[in-house]
Amino acid sequence: MKLLYFAWVRQKIGKSEETMPLPTGVSTLGELALHLRSLGPGYAEAFANLARLRAAANQVHAGFDAPIADGDEIAFFPPVTGG
């Protein structure tokens, strides 16, 4: 799957995108976020509080209970501030 990070999520992780296989035991956006939290200090900081994060699956806003599959484009980001 392709992972994209925006705004301070990107800054804390130190990269804007990466590709990885769907981790074993992960089937929702929330489970993926918890998995990513364990990958290192930057990830731990970015995913420390899921209430401050939003996500999208295949370029559509999605809740943390949304199912995901290998091959999806997943994005994590703060609440949007456009306009």
Site string for another protein, 25-54 (x = CB under 8 A): ------------------------------
Binding status of residue 79 toward another protein by CB under 8 A: yes
Radius of gyration (Cα) for the chain, nearest Å? 12
Here the tokens at position 75 are 């994005």
Binding of residue 80 to another protein (CB under 8 A):
yes
By C-beta, is 7 or 48 nearer to another protein?
7
User: CA-CA distances (angstroms) from residue 63 to 29, 30, 39, 42, 55?
Assistant: 7, 8, 22, 23, 7
Nearer to another protein, 64 or 77 (CB): 77
